[in-house]
């Protein structure tokens, strides 16, 4: 397999061992899943399917950024607790991903589960001489890290422009350089705060992924990515602080999904020009949504068009009618091995189906199950509403949110009470008790 590597800016061999470790930046759960989200996660899904077809095990971690400026601002606007907001949106996202039949993540850690990890990570960066304290915050000093800018390839002016556009707060007077970025920051009065050596506050955006990636997958992983709008500042900053802390490369290969556009602009919550997965599957077979996404190459930006849905509905009907078989399987494998060329893979399946050759095995590599009738949903997933399991997930998340609110207000003998790790335990001093 050969894939385009963002950092080297060329298609290179993707050389991995038996187990492939991957990390993709997940959602900030303050709104519903739109087609731009789906494109990123479907790209990783197809990649994993081909890797597993080649005999590899894949471990793809997708985080949840459940504390940052965006979700706190939305919660403030709605007058709800930020973790209650997150609980509902995470359940809706999980339902959307199940509807699209994506491979479940190896882990889906929340930022709020990693506060202890984040504080320790910041200490490592400070000890290495790559960070400084100012104004109650801790900042990464980009001038101390020689490789800053290597992933994006942007010059200073481009980096400043993107930092200003994407939450980099370049006007912060506490910074030594406008490109320096926050690792720990004081919280506003109505925001969550955790104690730290640098004063009460909360983590910066970039440090969350560094800590979670290290905790879940180790020091160096095979592949990392997300949407192309994360190349800078998020992934540039993440790599800088991770490598400053550990002294080793964070990632062997960077993969980024191009943006989906609507009305001439990229789909984004801030612009409101969104096409929601839940709205599409209310009308169309979920496999039609998947085909509409993967008919585009992951590195090519594309414009949403309503006519894509009936076109791919007809495509799905032809594939299902063709029946079971291995038609076009070799061509699809070759296409995916060449920088995940899903358009070429689809063209090969179209041609085989038109000849009346069964294409079920080739379609499965794109995540399309042709073994059930058009208009039916994946087994165990209820259409147009949250499933019982998803409703229970909302309840569980809401209980955990309530616990977090209590935790943030509690002090036991001067020791923080905190939620830690994937086991979701509540730790008081050295005694752990089940949150269930």
Domains of the chain: 14-266 (3.40.50.620), 310-365 (no CATH), 388-434 (no CATH)
Length of the chain: 436
pTM above 0.85, yes or no: yes
| pLDDT (0 to 100) of residue 269 | 75
Phi, psi of 293 (to 5 degrees): -75, -50
| pLDDT (0 to 100) of residue 395 | 62
Pairwise CA distance, residues 196 & 207, whole Å: 15
Output the CA–CA distances (angstroms, integers) from residue 19 to 43, 56, 112, 204, 363, in the order listed: 19, 6, 28, 31, 24
Pairwise CA distance, residues 39 & 337, whole Å: 19
| pLDDT (0 to 100) of residue 387 | 47
| pLDDT (0 to 100) of residue 293 | 98
| pLDDT (0 to 100) of residue 32 | 85
Phi, psi of 369 (to 5 degrees): -90, 110
Burial of 76 (0-12, 13-18, 19+ CB in 10 A): middle
Q: Which residue has the tokens 């290597």?
A: 150
Q: Count Cα neighbours of 157 within 13 Å in the Cβ-side half-sphere.
A: 0
Structure tokens at 217: 């997958």
- Radius of gyration over every alpha carbon of the chain, rounded to an integer in angstroms: 22
| pLDDT (0 to 100) of residue 422 | 30
For the sheet with 302-303, list strands across it: 265-266, 260-262, 302-303
Pairwise CA distance, residues 258 & 199, whole Å: 39
Determine the straight-line distance between the first and last CA of the chain, rounded to whole angstroms.
44
Pairwise CA distance, residues 93 & 84, whole Å: 14
Q: Which residue has the tokens 């490109």?
A: 179
* Mean pLDDT per 10-residue interval, the chain, length 436 residues: 98 98 95 91 98 98 95 94 94 95 97 96 98 97 97 97 93 97 96 96 96 97 96 98 97 97 86 91 96 98 96 98 98 98 98 98 98 94 62 59 55 40 29 29
| pLDDT (0 to 100) of residue 398 | 59
SS3 292: helix
């Amino acid at each position: 397999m050969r894939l385009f590597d963002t950092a080297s800016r060329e298609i290179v061999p993707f050389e991995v061992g038996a187990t492939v470790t991957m990390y993709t930046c997940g959602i900030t759960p303050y709104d519903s899943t739109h087609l731009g989200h789906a494109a990123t996660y479907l790209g990783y899904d197809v990649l994993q399917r081909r890797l597993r077809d080649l005999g590899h095990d894949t471990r793809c971690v997708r985080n949840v950024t459940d504390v940052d400026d965006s979700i706190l601002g939305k919660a403030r606007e709605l007058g709800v607790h930020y973790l209650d907001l997150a609980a509902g949106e995470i359940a809706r996202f999980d339902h959307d991903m199940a509807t699209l039949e994506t491979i479940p993540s190896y882990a889906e850690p929340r930022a709020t589960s990693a506060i202890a990890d984040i504080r320790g990570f910041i200490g490592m960066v400070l000890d290495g001489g790559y960070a400084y304290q100012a104004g109650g915050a801790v900042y990464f000093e980009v001038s101390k890290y020689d490789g800053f800018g290597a992933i994006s390839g942007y010059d200073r002016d481009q980096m400043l422009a993107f930092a200003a556009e994407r939450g980099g707060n370049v006007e912060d007077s506490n910074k030594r350089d406008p490109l320096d970025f926050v690792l720990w920051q004081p919280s506003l009065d109505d925001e969550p705060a955790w104690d730290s050596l640098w004063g009460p506050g909360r983590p910066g955006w970039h440090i969350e992924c560094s800590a979670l990636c290290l905790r879940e997958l180790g020091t160096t992983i095979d592949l990392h990515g997300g949407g192309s709008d994360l190349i800078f500042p998020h992934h540039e900053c993440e790599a800088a602080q991770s490598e400053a802390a550990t002294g080793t490369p964070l990632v062997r290969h960077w993969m980024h999904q191009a943006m989906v556009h609507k009305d001439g602009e990229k789909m984004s919550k801030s612009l409101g020009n969104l096409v929601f997965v839940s709205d599409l599957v209310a009308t169309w077979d979920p496999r039609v949504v998947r085909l509409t996404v993967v008919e585009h190459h992951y590195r090519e930006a594309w414009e949403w068009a309503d006519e894509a849905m009936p076109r791919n509905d007809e495509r799905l009907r032809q594939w299902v009618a063709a029946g079971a078989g291995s038609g076009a399987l070799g061509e699809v494998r070759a296409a995916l091995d060449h920088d995940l060329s899903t358009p070429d893979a689809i063209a090969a399946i179209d041609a085989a189906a038109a000849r009346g050759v069964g294409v079920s095995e080739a379609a499965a590599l794109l995540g399309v199950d042709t073994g059930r009738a058009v208009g039916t949903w994946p087994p165990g997933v209820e259409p147009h509403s949250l499933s019982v399991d998803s409703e229970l997930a909302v309840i569980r998340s809401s209980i955990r949110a309530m616990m977090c609110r209590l935790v943030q207000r509690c002090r036991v003998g001067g020791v923080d009470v905190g939620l830690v790790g994937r086991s979701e335990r509540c730790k008081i001093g050295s005694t752990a008790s089940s949150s269930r």
